[in-house]
Structure 1
């Protein structure tokens, strides 16, 4: 189980990303359209003034049940060991388990 503070921090980053998404997207479009270098620097300064945690690259997927940041499968939203346990107890229909 992940620490509650880390999960809360990740949720805060998600909210910040949604809040500044439109500003960030419009600024990036402006940079590509503006021909002069000075104007590009001004727009880039606006982008740099946005909060650091509002960038999408700082987000990390976490397990839906445990909050673990490692070995997450996008299709299920679960970490690897929880996914394997669910396979073995037949809680995920259509999934085949491997045993050797």
Structure 2
């Protein structure tokens, strides 16, 4: 089980990312327009505007976590679970369509 502080920090980052998503997207579109026109001074102003939101609002700071345990590593995107939890649920027949391997 992950520490609760880490899980709360991740939730806060998700909220910040959603809040500043439109600002980042519009700034990036402006940069593409300016690059085609070749306005170096305008490009610098837009970069400053792009750097204005908090760092934790960047989408690269987000990390996928297991829905049940909050574990950050060995996550399967299809299920949203860590490998250990996924294996337990498959063995308990709680995931439809998932089969355990046998040889």
Q: What is the TM-score with the length of structure 1 in the denominator? A: 0.97
CA distance in 1: counterparts of 2:102 and 2:86, whole angstroms? 14
Counterpart for residue 57 of structure 1: 60
Q: Distance in 2 between matches of 1:81 and 1:45?
A: 44
Structure 1 outlier segments of 4+, above 3 Å = none
State the alpha-carbon separation in 1 of the partners of residues 102 and 2 from structure 2.
Answer: 28
Q: Secondary structure at the match of 2:44?
A: helix
The aligned length equals 100
Give the whole-Å Cα distance in 2 for the aligned partners of 1:66 and 1:31. 40
RMSD: 0.8
What pairs up with 1:37-48 in 2 under 5 angstroms?
37-48=40-51
Structure 1 unaligned spans of 5+: none
**What's the TM-score once normalised by structure 2's chain length?**
0.94
Structure 2 unmatched ranges of 5 or more: none
